[in-house]
């Protein structure tokens, strides 16, 4: 084992001064080394801080873009829903007006048949409503107002009272499944038939479908039209083979 030799302490003033100078040089070197280490660590900390700040800024920018996109999407959805609500409202109003007008046409036609002289008299007067009805009847050829919507405008009691006031005819037409029975005649899908609407000329064609209380009829030359069993029983439409 190597024996460490201890230095003897300085004895003279010159030796003491030399030792002090040596220790001062050592202290200066230690301070410089610490300063260099501190500077190096500062550079490292600065780089990491810059990276952290850059990553944080990028994340914040990404969140800002995401928030803007979400806000824009929400505004577009809101605008789309508002437009849809407005369109639905307009469509509902148009349907309500059309249904009411169809019912008025039906009542007008039936009363005109029951009271032809009164209908002729009022038709000769300068009445905007009568003019509108006549124009609509001429345009639609009395085919509108026969079929009521799925949700009736009149209740069951009102309908019975209305029918009892306007006709005493026995119900002749009925639908059983996909067959229409009028008296002794039976019509089914594909049956050739001749229909007559009011006092118009007879129309030849084919029964193309029977659903619930509605008969769909396609003329030989023309588009498909539909009639309700009620219109047959009221005498507004006649079916023959």
My answer on whether 28 and 132 are in the same domain is yes
Instruction: Out of 125-129, 169-173, 187-191, 207-211, pick the least confident.
Output: 169-173
| Secondary structure class of 241 (helix, strand, coil) | coil
Domain boundary among 89, 121, 138: 138
My answer on whether 20 and 133 are in the same domain is yes
pLDDT on residue 41: 60
Q: Backbone phi, then psi, for 176, in 5-degree steps?
A: -125, 100
Q: What is the pLDDT of residues 169-195, one digit of tens each?
A: 555 788 888 899 988 889 999 999 999
Instruction: Out of 101-105, 136-140, 210-214, pick the least confident.
Output: 136-140
Mean pLDDT of 202-220: 89
7 contacts: CB under 8 Å, gap ≥ 6:
none
pLDDT on residue 61: 84
Domain boundary among 88, 114, 138: 138
Token pair for 238: 């006649």
Query: What is the enclosing helix (H) or strand (E) of 208?
Result: strand 203-211
The CA distance from 235 to 241, in Å, is: 17
My answer on whether 125 and 51 are in the same domain is yes
With beta carbons less than 8 A apart as the criterion, state whether 173 and 232 touch: yes
pLDDT on residue 144: 41
The CA distance from 111 to 117, in Å, is: 11
Q: How many domains does the chain have?
A: 2
Token pair for 130: 């009568």
pLDDT on residue 42: 60
Tokens 């300085």: give the residue: 10
pLDDT on residue 162: 63
Question: Looking at residue 194, which CATH number applies to its domain?
Answer: 2.30.30
Q: What is the pTM of this model?
A: 0.33
My answer on whether 195 and 236 are in the same domain is yes
Q: Is residue 122 part of a domain?
A: yes
My answer on whether 27 and 93 are in the same domain is yes
Q: Is residue 151 part of a domain?
A: no
206 contacts: CB under 8 Å, gap ≥ 6:
190, 191, 192, 193, 217, 218
My answer on whether 128 and 39 are in the same domain is yes
Q: Is residue 41 part of a domain?
A: yes
String of DSSP letters for 103-150: HHHHHHHHHHHH-HHHHHHHHHS--HHHHHHHHHHHHHTT-SSSS--S
Q: What is the pLDDT of residues 25-80, one digit of tens each?
A: 787 877 777 676 666 666 666 777 777 778 877 888 888 888 888 888 888 888 87
pLDDT on residue 77: 81
Per-residue buried b or exposed e for 219-229, using 16+ beta carbons within 10 Å of the residue's own CB: eeeeeebebbb
Q: Which residue has the higher pLDDT, 177 or 206?
A: 206
| Domain that includes residue 211, residue range | 171-240
Mean pLDDT of 11-30: 76
Confidence of residue 151 (pLDDT cuts 50, 70, 90): low
CA distances from 31 to 22, 26, 84, 124 (A): 14, 9, 78, 121
**Percentage of the residues of the chain whose pLDDT score is greater than 70:** 72
With beta carbons less than 8 A apart as the criterion, state whether 206 and 218 touch: yes
Task: Give me the torsion for CA of 111, 112, 117, 122, rounded to 10°.
Answer: 100
My answer on whether 181 and 113 are in the same domain is no
11: pLDDT strictly greater than 50: yes
pLDDT on residue 206: 93
């Amino acid at each position: 084992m190597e024996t460490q030799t201890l230095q003897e302490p300085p004895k003279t003033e010159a030796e003491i001064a030399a030792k002090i100078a040596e220790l001062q040089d050592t202290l200066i070197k230690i301070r410089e080394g610490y300063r260099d280490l501190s500077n190096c660590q500062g550079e490292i900390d600065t780089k990491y801080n810059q990276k952290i700040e850059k990553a944080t800024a990028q994340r914040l920018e990404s969140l800002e873009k995401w928030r803007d996109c979400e806000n824009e999407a929400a505004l577009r959805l809101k605008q789309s829903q508002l437009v849809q609500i407005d369109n639905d409202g307009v469509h509902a109003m148009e349907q309500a007006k059309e249904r009411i007008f169809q019912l008025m046409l039906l009542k007008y036609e039936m009363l005109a048949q029951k009271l032809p002289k009164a209908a002729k008299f009022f038709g000769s007067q300068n009445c905007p409503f009568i003019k509108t009805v006549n124009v609509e009847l001429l345009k639609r050829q009395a085919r509108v107002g026969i079929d009521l919507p799925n949700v009736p405008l009149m209740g069951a009691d009102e309908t019975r009272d209305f029918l009892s006031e306007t006709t005493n005819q026995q119900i002749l037409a009925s639908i059983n499944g996909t067959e229409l029975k009028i008296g002794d005649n039976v019509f089914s899908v594909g049956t050739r038939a001749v229909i007559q609407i009011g006092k118009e000329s007879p129309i030849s064609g084919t029964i193309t479908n029977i659903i619930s209380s509605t008969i769909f009829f396609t003329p030989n030359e023309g588009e498909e039209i539909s009639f309700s069993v009620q219109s047959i029983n009221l005498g507004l439409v006649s079916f023959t083979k």
